Chains A and B, each alone.
Chain A
């Protein structure tokens, strides 16, 4: 049994030769020995053998299925709209010192981006000082003139952020994207942990793993903090577009865990700059809306008039300070992929500090030199539509066809502001237990930060795994899987 396992692991290592050798391996050192923080787990696996992993993986899948932990993949029409959440039982482990750097970097970034948003929708000092080209903002799809000069409670725009991190070939953490609109995945982070604790209690006995399960509690505290009528009487709702949304599971999960109402647009009504929940006892004033509805659909009086998902008048209530909207409308311009390239400058401008976390080099297609370079080197580039997320509107150069590249080149030239390009980073890999074998797969990390009274980064996050061998696309909506993420406590 043990022999069989070891040969599989060795096979997984040999398979490294089938892929570029440059990706950092989270689990193994260069001499193929497990890294120090993985040793206790490794030793345990060696003792129990591979069959144990197979049985645990089966149990995990069954538990996810029974508990209805699902995710919708729109292109998966043949399989119905929902899939059981794909989960790999081997956890990713982050030592305390590494986490301290991640945490500090994310807090710094969120502080700077909130100051940026406040400035952008008010005095626009950063544009006047020429730090960011105004054209970049005014051509941005998510820059919302409709909210100019509105003051959100406590000047917070991004109450919930999901910052996507990758590790480059040298193992350095880099920010890949800021998700500041309605980042999803947090429920899966918690479910992963619940399942992992149940399936692998013996692993937890060997580590001091920091909790993530208190996220709903932290979120609830932050939402209460925003209440215009005070924390004690805060009425909070989670506003969902409904059951057909890919993250509907998460909406119900968070509402349930926080003990607040899950509402659709039709359940709410505005009058005299206040928002009310329709209940069997009559109208009940709402103080905080954690909305999972995109800006475009949030208020038909202000944004898309044909939206049936939002609440007419909610922006006026927000402007009047009678309700808090989480995240604030208009926050999306700060995670526009073209603005992303300027985040280091934004940090220096508002905070006078050097960025703690580096960014991936980014080519602006509005820059003629960058454009020419990218068009010549498309096979080595990742090209992204600036306002898309979830892996949509993206070209992975190395795996693209000539036809796909020609199509993207045409789109870029037609609307250069809508695209950016980045060199392909061989993002780090980790061992995964897949179909009875130990295989290496690329992954990223989405830690979640909550901005209430202060910024708190939940120690952990959603580790997303590219389930297809060699693939660098980890997005859940593109068929990616996940791992539990263990942040170790200081000794």
Chain B
């Protein structure tokens, strides 16, 4: 599937700022699951963006506007082709050999340890039980893929994805109390569960096919589509299949309608925008417009 995407941002300050440094992680990945066909970044006031790959393999850009300005606009325009039509399309490993496969992967690529060992406030080490909910435990003989799907279902039972929440609940056990959370919240919980099993799991951010933002069946007629936003899910190292995406928010496996932009230990590693500036301490007004369209 081929997509064209445009992601535009405007940062409006109450008064002029200077020495404005911006670092973004918005560019889609280019790997075996998707091809980045074209990419352009426009900035106003004019600046010269530079690109680099971070330690997790994400393509990041940064630029600086030194002079005084009150508004900064930038937009990323890209064409991407996704290839993973069927997320199950791989040669699986027998369940009894899966842990050996994982251990071997960790030996060959020590960088994977980040996705096993990392516990932060967002992906904490979990107790056996939270309130009345028993945390899913590792089950010998059950394929990892199945265990992750079950854990994803368990999350859907205890906390609902709420697309209208724009502030992350984030920390446990608040998520259990609220019984709802953002896609990032649910992804963090799933990661925490899987890391308890010492299976590599990473946080993924990216774009979705526009159809996910269409009105639901129960919405009144002529309801406009919801604004498109960056989405978050989990990628788990599946023996034989490599990194495979699991979306506890939409209860789906990530397929060709998912466009990966950034991965990391948790949401802090994939943060789409980091900026610093001098001259104004008030929070700026921040607006963004995302449009992902299927072109083929």
A: which residues have CB within 8 A of B?
Answer: 124, 127-128, 130, 134-135, 137-139, 145-149, 269-273, 300-302, 305, 312-313, 316, 319-320
Is B177 part of the contact surface with A, judged by Cβ < 8 Å? no
Q: Which of B35-91 contact A (CB under 8 A)?
A: 48, 50, 52-56, 62, 64, 66
Q: B251 near A: Cβ within 8 Å?
A: no
Please name all residues of chain B whose beta carbon is closer than 8 Å to the beta carbon of A271 when the two chains form the complex.
64, 66
Count how many chain B residues have C-beta atoms less than 8 Å from C-beta atoms of the other chain.
Answer: 25
In the assembled complex, 9 residue pairs joining A and B whose CB atoms fall closer than 8 Å, in A order, are A124-B111, A134-B113, A148-B54, A149-B55, A269-B19, A269-B66, A301-B275, A312-B19, A320-B52
In the complex the two chains form, is B55's CB within 8 Å of A320's CB?
A: no
Residue among B48, B62, B106, B108 facing the most chain A CB atoms (10 A cut-off): B62
Chain B residues with Cβ below 8 Å from A146 are 54-55
Residue B276 at the chain A interface, CB threshold 8 Å? yes
Interchain CA distance A252-B83 in the complex, whole Å:
58
CB contacts (< 8 Å) of B54 on chain A: these are: 146, 148
Chain B residues in 8 Å Cβ range of A302:
23
Q: How far is the CB of B6 from chain A (nearest CB, A)?
A: 25
Candidates A128, A137, A316; contact of B52 at CB < 8 Å: A316
Decide if B50 touches A301 in the complex (CB within 8 Å).
no
- Please state if B276 and A312 are interface contacts (CB–CB under 8 Å): yes
- How would residues 201 to 228 of chain B score, 1 for a CB under 8 Å from any chain A CB and 0 otherwise? 0000000000000000000000000000
The reply to whether the CB of B110 lies closer than 8 angstroms to some CB of chain A is yes
Q: Whole-angstrom distance between the alpha carbons of A273 and B64 in the complex?
A: 9
Residues of B with Cβ closer than 8 Å to A? Answer: 19, 21, 23, 48, 50, 52-56, 62, 64, 66, 106-108, 110-111, 113-114, 117-118, 274-276
Task: Tell me the bound Cα distance from A146 to B50 in angstroms.
Answer: 16
Which residues on A sit within 8 Å (CB–CB) of B106? 134
Give the shortest distance, in Å, between A116 (CB) and chain B (any CB): 14
Bound together, the chains give a CA A271 to CA B114 distance in angstroms of 32
A313–B64 contact, CB under 8 A?
yes
Of chain B, the residue at the smallest CB distance from A125 is B110
Q: Give the number of A-B contacts (CB < 8 Å).
A: 64
CB < 8 Å: which of B62, B107, B110, B118 contacts A313?
B62
Q: Check A135/B117 contact, CB under 8 A, given A271-B66, A301-B23.
A: yes
By DSSP majority rule, is chain B's interface helix, strand, loop, or mixed? mixed
Question: In the complex the two chains form, what is the Cα distance from A147 to B55 in whole Å?
Answer: 7
Judge whether A148 and B117 touch: CB under 8 Å.
no
**Residues in A whose Cβ lies below 8 Å from that of B53:** 149
Q: Which 9 A-B pairs have the closest CB atoms?
A: A148-B55, A127-B110, A312-B21, A145-B55, A138-B113, A134-B110, A312-B276, A134-B113, A124-B110
Q: Which residues from chain B contact A139 at a C-beta distance below 8 Å?
A: 117
Asked whether B114 lies within 8 Å of A316 as measured between CB atoms, the reply is no
Per the bound structure, the CA–CA distance linking A128 and B117 in Å amounts to 17
In angstroms, Cα B114 to Cα A270, docked, is 30
Min CB distance B137 to A, Å, is 22
Which of B48, B56, B107, B276 contacts A300 (CB under 8 A)? B276
Residue of A nearest to B56 (CB): A145
Contact A301 B55 (CB under 8 A): no
Q: How far is the CB of A62 from chain B (nearest CB, A)?
A: 44
Whether B52 lies near A319 (C-beta < 8 A) is yes
Complex: A49 Cα to B160 Cα, angstroms: 85
Contact A270 B274 (CB under 8 A): no
**A111 vs chain B, min Cβ distance (A):** 23
CB of B18 to closest CB in A, whole Å: 9
A319–B53 alpha-carbon span in the complex (Å): 10
Set of chain B residues within 8 Å of A273, measured between Cβ atoms? 50
| Cβ-closest chain B residue relative to A130 | B107
Inter-subunit contact B107/A272 (CB<8 Å) = no
User: B71 → chain A, closest Cβ, in Å?
Assistant: 19
Residues of A within 8 A of B114 (CB): 138, 145
Q: Which of B19, B114, B276 has most chain A Cβ within 10 Å?
A: B276
Residues from chain B with a CB closer than 8 A to the CB of A134 are 106, 110, 113
Give the chain A neighbours of B113 by CB distance below 8 A: 134-135, 137-138
Chain B residues whose CB sits within 8 angstroms of the CB of A137 once the complex forms: 110, 113
